[in-house]
Chains A and B, each alone.
Chain A
Amino acid sequence: MRRRYLDVVLVAAAAGAGALYCCAGPQPGEIETCATVDRLPRLFPDYAGTVIPPNIAPLNFTVQEPGTEYRVRISSARGDPIEIAGKDSRILIPMRRWKALLRSNAGQALSVDVYARGRDGSWRRFQTITNTIADARIDAYLVYRLIRATHKHTHRYGMGIYQRCLENFDEKSIFQSRSFGGGCVNCHTFLRNAPETMTLQVRCAYGAPMLIVREGRVTHVDTRSEFRPKSGGYTSWHPNGRLVVFSINDLSQLHHSVGEKRDVFDAEADLAVYDLESNTLRTVLAIAEPDRLETWPSWSSDGRFLYFCSAPRLPVNRIKEIRFDLVRIPYNAADGTWGEPETLAAAGETGLSAAAPRESPDGRWLLFSLAEYGNFPIYQPSCDLYLMDLQTRKYRRLAINSDRCDSWHSWSSDGRWIAFSSKRRDGLFTKVYFSYFDPDGKAHKPFLMPQQDPEFYDSCIRVYNVPELVTGPVRVSGRDLGKAVCSPAEVVKVRYDSALAPRVPEPVAPGLEKPAPWQTGGQ
């Protein structure tokens, strides 16, 4: 009796193994003889000809070629190749084997061979995809804001700041708008890519604080002062960890009836520097001129310069004429003195509007964006990333741009990787891309942030904002952040030091106030 059962089990096992063998892709003989297609296979995401970090999560993809079965072989100079076969066009790469392959082949080529079986039963082999595994690791975490493509009502399913471990597929919420009863949370900024020190700007029914996270403590800072009664916006940490510069903007949303629907008008923008130790807010005329808009502040990596964008104030009906210069101003953190501002890229020369300057960690390069007009690049289809060599002051449009909006860039801690948002896929939903930036200043073909399910983006109607690379996980809890917003143990009200204060802004020229209803036709 027992023997009979054993026979049944053995037969079943043999049949199963046979079936698996048959389903596991082309047999050795078939591979050698199968037809070759003289082009690369179509994959989504497009992971072909790119440079990838040695610590990135598996680049799962879908083979977008017709077929009834697929086989993929991923190999490199050392280690066992990974072979995946099946009827599903989604190729899910085993995590452990992928990591082992990448780890032992840093600096080497990574080959991907794709086979597809047609309806007639014959196999086709496409040209081998060759990627390069970089030597440089990418910072392990990416922090971004996830939001719907709405204008308001961002609270229902939550706007939130999330962190994603790039070495696997773990995504965790850092802070959700639900934690403070709904509202806006934005502009997460880190000190030199370190997750322990960050700022967040919040706007909600409990106020509009800047949250400062340092050494596990969250501080609620009310940055509104006699200088400007508005809260802060774009922020940057000075490398000394003591100073934070932020813009104070008077932003309004505008709506186009043709093309990109949303736009933003900045009626007033100035910069101010907050000293955390003395709890003092300071500014000078050079970064807060009453008749100009100064925004997008960013410290240089050594803290000796402050980069920002500057444009003349114009009324809202001339919004398409507002173009920002790229400017920097020397700063001495020891005594708090400022030098003379210098224009690095004048709007008059570029014909475009600069935004979001970010200096590379080695101080050699400046990455910024240029768009047709205005200071809100994410709504500008024309927005592209540009790179300036700070030694020669020459700048160029990066080849990694698309014909749609590319913006919200950040550097990795070692300056070898760039993360940025792009609408290149569909023109509507921004997604995160990474590009390897080599020592010669070349940004290599970017690749889309991998997801466990390669079809994830096919139904993802959320927008990824402000991707910031950080070296580890952000450990502050949403609970602590929520508590700091809604019932803080202490509200730190900044003290405005007017010793170096610029002139009081002159009354707004006619047409600069909130615009009156349009009487005329289109622009």
Chain B
Amino acid sequence: MKRATRQDGTSWLEVGFPLRAVPVFALSYLYVWLVLDPRLLYRNRPAAFLLDRAFFERFLGYVGGPVEYAAAFLTQFYYYPWAGAAVIVGLVLGSCLATRSILSRLGGRPSGLLPFVPPVLVLVLLNGYTPMISVLAMFLALLFTVCYVRCPLRRSALRLGVFVVLSGLLYYLAAGPFLLFAAMCGIYELLAARRRFLGAACFVLGALWPYAVARWLFEPELLEFYLRWMPLKGAAGLHPVFLALYVFFPAAAIGVIFQDALARAGRRIAGGRGLRLREWFSRGRIGRAVAALSLVVVVAVPVALTFDGGQRAALRLRYLMNGRRWEEALAAARRCPVDTIFSRHAVVRALYHTGRLPDEMFSYRQRAGAPDLFLDAAELEQFWWVYRMRSDIYFDLGRVNESGQQAHEALAHQGEGPALLERLALISVLKGRPQAARTFLGVLEKTLWHRASAREWRRRLDADASLSQDPQVQRVRSRMLKTDYLAWRAPLGSYAADQLLRQCLVANKMNRMAFEYLMAHYLLVRSLDGFAASLPHVKDFAYSGMPRHYAEAIVLYAHLSNKRLPDTLTRLIRPETFPRFQEFMGVYGPHRHDSKAAWRALVKDFGDTYWFFFTFGRTGAAGPPSEEGETS
């Protein structure tokens, strides 16, 4: 049967490869830049990178270290989303070209659509904001595979030598993905070049190499030597996309080697229909344009279907919080499809900073009794960013010792992130250690994008070692504790949240954040007694009238305790609060034994009130218990 080949022997699928590749990668670039937004990764998890020999040497002492160093460097470009997108799409394009080169060498002719499979899978991975290092390591393995299969040497002994040299180098550079290289070389030698001994040697050496290195270096975790930078197993079990990616290459290689046989089988099944269709695609401009468009669709559909809006929203929320963009953070929190302890923590913090915490706290998702305020549950420490968030909250409260501790933990966990270095420098200033601040700024000065900032801080420190004119420093300094409270368990475990906040108020009774957080704590844990006991301090703060949720809690407290409110307090409460409470009780009364019916009856008009929260343990925005979808 006649094959749809051109005069020069290339198949229809190869016609206009650049024509079809350009729109795919151009759209990929726009997608990564504008939708995924590399800034979210940079700001949320800035990979440490210092222009420093000692920093470089840190990565030389272990297998896979150099690729980690390279990934740390390339990740710096995420700072500028357009540059970050260029880096990512460069890697995607590179993996496409490398795949094309390998497969065409294996199959004896260009290999059609297959080179576009790795880009699709990589984009799907990036939808989950996968760190770059795994993709970079895989790309390196592909490059080495290209070098090997394109090596012009024919004698087996020489080729074995090339394989051993490339193996040693690649394994040191990229660790685990070396296995992909070994497998591809083995397949090539065994099935395409028919050098059976050499092929078997590639497989055997590939399997033994990590073992030998692990034994030689003696590091205890053998599996780590096989799988470093190959995250086949994620937190939730096997990582299907990575698995698919690593299975794809050998499968595609075998496929293209046996493509003639497969094509014959395909033609027997499809008759002449497939051939006619392919001829139409390869003939004329319209056919080629349709083919290019089809490719875009083929790439776009899986990428679009696997886009994780929830994760992006969560990352964006953290990004906005890190940038102290409170209003945008609140808007993002409202739109965020997932309800997590972190998003609730963010809402409380953003509301405080916008001055709306006592009035709007229950307009957002909230749940009773959750340890949202300080994120101090030990199990949260599985999330690396929790240290940074804790450091932020303690810093704002004026608890600089605790903030510093958490920042140090974050630094040890994620490396020398610029924001952490700045935080630690400020804490050092607040603790009267300007030289330590200079040391942190010395590290900051070695980063790629924050040198100017470090120099500016140093200049200011030289002018005034206590930064007494800096508003942020002034604010935190005025809130710093003066009494030493010895805590047993890190970070503050010996103390309950209300004790911590009271300690802040002992140091400075005008610490508005501590007060509002204390009241928020009592409201969240539904401790009306604690709330009422702290209420007299409301006069220390210049509220224009009683804040809405405080007023709702006061009315509720009076109702539940059968106490008459003092006139001084009643005067501060907006008059409409009382009839509204009566209305709430009126609607709630008939449904008091049927919580689902009560929820339905009240959520529309009262879902953002403290009465509703107190009754159901969650706000209307958090949704009814049966519709839970939260994660932590």
Binding site for B on A (CB under 8 A): 148-154, 156-157, 173, 178-181, 206, 252-259, 261-263, 316-317, 319, 425-429, 455, 457-461, 478-480, 482-483, 485-487, 514-515, 517-518, 521-523
Mask: chain B, 397-419; 1 = CB below 8 Å from A; 0 = not: 00101101100110111111000
CB-defined contacts of B218 to chain A, threshold 8 Å: 179, 478-480, 482-483, 486
CA A75 to CA B494, docked complex, whole Å: 60
CB-defined contacts of A478 to chain B, threshold 8 Å: 218
* Interchain Cβ contacts under 8 Å between A and B, 20 examples: A157-B415, A178-B219, A206-B220, A254-B488, A255-B401, A255-B488, A256-B401, A256-B485, A256-B486, A258-B481, A319-B486, A458-B439, A479-B216, A479-B217, A482-B219, A518-B486, A518-B499, A522-B483, A522-B484, A522-B486
Beyond known contacts A426-B438, A482-B218, A521-B483: 7 more, CB 8 A cutoff:
A255-B488, A255-B490, A257-B503, A426-B428, A427-B435, A487-B220, A523-B485
CB-defined contacts of B446 to chain A, threshold 8 Å: 459
Interchain CB contact under 8 A, A425 and B487: no
CA A154 to CA B408, docked complex, whole Å: 10
CA A160 to CA B140, docked complex, whole Å: 30
Interface assignment of B221: CB less than 8 Å from any CB of chain A: yes
* Most A Cβ at <10 Å: residue of B221, B404, B487: B487
Interchain CB contact under 8 A, B483 and A518: no
CA A220 to CA B433, docked complex, whole Å: 42
In the assembled complex, the CB of A265 is this many whole angstroms from the nearest CB of chain B, namely 9
CB-defined contacts of A458 to chain B, threshold 8 Å: 438-439, 442
Interchain CB contact under 8 A, B408 and A515: no
Mask: chain B, 462-492; 1 = CB below 8 Å from A; 0 = not: 0000000000000000001111111110111
Q: Please provide the chain B residues from 313 to 335 with a CB less than 8 Å away from any CB of chain A in the complex.
A: none
- Check A459/B52 contact, CB under 8 A, given A257-B399, A426-B436: yes
- Check A425/B435 contact, CB under 8 A, given A459-B52, A517-B494: yes
- Check A156/B413 contact, CB under 8 A, given A261-B401, A458-B439: yes
CA A522 to CA B484, docked complex, whole Å: 5
Interchain CB contact under 8 A, B220 and A263: no
User: Binding site of A, secondary structure by majority: helix, strand, loop or mixed?
Assistant: loop
In the assembled complex, the CB of A486 is this many whole angstroms from the nearest CB of chain B, namely 4
Q: Among the listed A262, A460, A521, which residue makes an inter-chain contact with B485, where contact means beta carbons less than 8 Å apart?
A: A521
CB-defined contacts of A150 to chain B, threshold 8 Å: 408-409, 411-412
Q: Among the listed B401, B413, B433, B496, which residue makes an inter-chain contact with A258, where contact means beta carbons less than 8 Å apart?
A: B401
- Which 5 A-B pairs rank lowest in CB-CB distance, beginning with the nearest? A522-B483, A459-B442, A426-B435, A426-B436, A486-B220
Interchain CB contact under 8 A, A257 and B485: yes
Interchain CB contact under 8 A, B220 and A517: no
CA A458 to CA B438, docked complex, whole Å: 7
CB-defined contacts of B219 to chain A, threshold 8 Å: 178-179, 181, 482
Interchain CB contact under 8 A, B481 and A428: no
CA A152 to CA B416, docked complex, whole Å: 16
In the assembled complex, the CB of B401 is this many whole angstroms from the nearest CB of chain A, namely 4
Q: Among the listed B217, B402, B411, B445, which residue makes an inter-chain contact with A257, where contact means beta carbons less than 8 Å apart?
A: B402
Q: Which residue of B lies closest to A521 (CB)?
A: B483
Interchain CB contact under 8 A, A255 and B409: no
* Most A Cβ at <10 Å: residue of B218, B443, B482: B218
In the assembled complex, the CB of B61 is this many whole angstroms from the nearest CB of chain A, namely 7
In the assembled complex, the CB of B104 is this many whole angstroms from the nearest CB of chain A, namely 41
- Check A482/B220 contact, CB under 8 A, given A257-B487, A426-B436, A427-B436: yes
CB-defined contacts of B216 to chain A, threshold 8 Å: 479
CA A255 to CA B486, docked complex, whole Å: 6
CB-defined contacts of A255 to chain B, threshold 8 Å: 401-402, 405, 486-488, 490-492
Interface assignment of B62: CB less than 8 Å from any CB of chain A: yes
Chain B count of residues within 8 A CB distance of the other chain: 55
Interchain CB contact under 8 A, A426 and B439: yes
Interchain CB contact under 8 A, B485 and A148: no
CA A255 to CA B438, docked complex, whole Å: 25
Q: Among the listed B438, B480, B484, which residue makes an inter-chain contact with A256, where contact means beta carbons less than 8 Å apart?
A: B484
Q: Among the listed B431, B485, B493, which residue makes an inter-chain contact with A522, where contact means beta carbons less than 8 Å apart?
A: B485
Interchain CB contact under 8 A, B443 and A461: yes
Interchain CB contact under 8 A, A426 and B433: yes
Interface assignment of B460: CB less than 8 Å from any CB of chain A: no
CA A267 to CA B435, docked complex, whole Å: 35
Interchain CB contact under 8 A, A253 and B415: no
CA A181 to CA B408, docked complex, whole Å: 21
Interface assignment of B58: CB less than 8 Å from any CB of chain A: yes
Interchain CB contact under 8 A, B488 and A252: yes
CB-defined contacts of B488 to chain A, threshold 8 Å: 252, 254-255, 316, 514-515, 517-518
CB-defined contacts of A317 to chain B, threshold 8 Å: 486
Interface assignment of B612: CB less than 8 Å from any CB of chain A: no
Mask: chain B, 432-453; 1 = CB below 8 Å from A; 0 = not: 1101101110110110000000
In the assembled complex, the CB of B423 is this many whole angstroms from the nearest CB of chain A, namely 13
Q: Among the listed B435, B445, B495, which residue makes an inter-chain contact with A459, where contact means beta carbons less than 8 Å apart?
A: B445
Interchain CB contact under 8 A, A258 and B484: yes
Interchain CB contact under 8 A, A523 and B439: no
- Check A427/B490 contact, CB under 8 A, given A458-B439, A459-B445: no
* Most B Cβ at <10 Å: residue of A150, A254, A258, A522: A258
Interface assignment of B506: CB less than 8 Å from any CB of chain A: yes
* Most A Cβ at <10 Å: residue of B408, B482, B503: B408
In the assembled complex, the CB of B5 is this many whole angstroms from the nearest CB of chain A, namely 55
In the assembled complex, the CB of B477 is this many whole angstroms from the nearest CB of chain A, namely 13
CB-defined contacts of B480 to chain A, threshold 8 Å: 258
CB-defined contacts of B487 to chain A, threshold 8 Å: 254-257, 518
CA A259 to CA B483, docked complex, whole Å: 10
CB-defined contacts of B52 to chain A, threshold 8 Å: 459
CA A457 to CA B435, docked complex, whole Å: 11
- Check A429/B436 contact, CB under 8 A, given A153-B412, A255-B487, A257-B485: yes
Q: Among the listed A206, A482, A515, which residue makes an inter-chain contact with B494, where contact means beta carbons less than 8 Å apart?
A: A515
- Check A461/B440 contact, CB under 8 A, given A152-B490, A156-B413, A179-B219: yes
Interchain CB contact under 8 A, B506 and A427: no
- Check A263/B495 contact, CB under 8 A, given A148-B408, A151-B408: no
Q: Among the listed B220, B411, B440, B490, which residue makes an inter-chain contact with A148, where contact means beta carbons less than 8 Å apart?
A: B411
CA A342 to CA B624, docked complex, whole Å: 72
In the assembled complex, the CB of A285 is this many whole angstroms from the nearest CB of chain B, namely 31
Interchain CB contact under 8 A, A459 and B220: no
Q: Which residue of A lies closest to B220 (CB)?
A: A486
Q: Which residue of A lies closest to B424 (CB)?
A: A461
CA A296 to CA B492, docked complex, whole Å: 29
CB-defined contacts of A178 to chain B, threshold 8 Å: 62, 219
CA A253 to CA B409, docked complex, whole Å: 15
Interchain CB contact under 8 A, A429 and B439: yes
CA A522 to CA B480, docked complex, whole Å: 14
CA A482 to CA B222, docked complex, whole Å: 13
CA A259 to CA B405, docked complex, whole Å: 12
Interchain CB contact under 8 A, A153 and B439: no
Q: Among the listed B61, B62, B435, B439, which residue makes an inter-chain contact with A461, where contact means beta carbons less than 8 Å apart?
A: B439
CB-defined contacts of B428 to chain A, threshold 8 Å: 426, 428
Q: Which residue of A lies closest to B481 (CB)?
A: A257
CA A259 to CA B431, docked complex, whole Å: 7
In the assembled complex, the CB of B592 is this many whole angstroms from the nearest CB of chain A, namely 37
Interchain CB contact under 8 A, A157 and B412: yes
CA A150 to CA B411, docked complex, whole Å: 9
In the assembled complex, the CB of B295 is this many whole angstroms from the nearest CB of chain A, namely 42
CA A152 to CA B491, docked complex, whole Å: 11
In the assembled complex, the CB of B74 is this many whole angstroms from the nearest CB of chain A, namely 20
Interchain CB contact under 8 A, B61 and A173: yes
CB-defined contacts of B442 to chain A, threshold 8 Å: 455, 458-459
Q: Among the listed A179, A261, A263, A479, which residue makes an inter-chain contact with B405, where contact means beta carbons less than 8 Å apart?
A: A261
Q: Which residue of A lies closest to B401 (CB)?
A: A261
CA A426 to CA B506, docked complex, whole Å: 30
CB-defined contacts of A429 to chain B, threshold 8 Å: 436, 439
Q: Among the listed A459, A522, A523, which residue makes an inter-chain contact with B443, where contact means beta carbons less than 8 Å apart?
A: A459
CB-defined contacts of A151 to chain B, threshold 8 Å: 405, 408-409, 490
- Check A156/B482 contact, CB under 8 A, given A151-B490, A178-B219, A426-B435: no
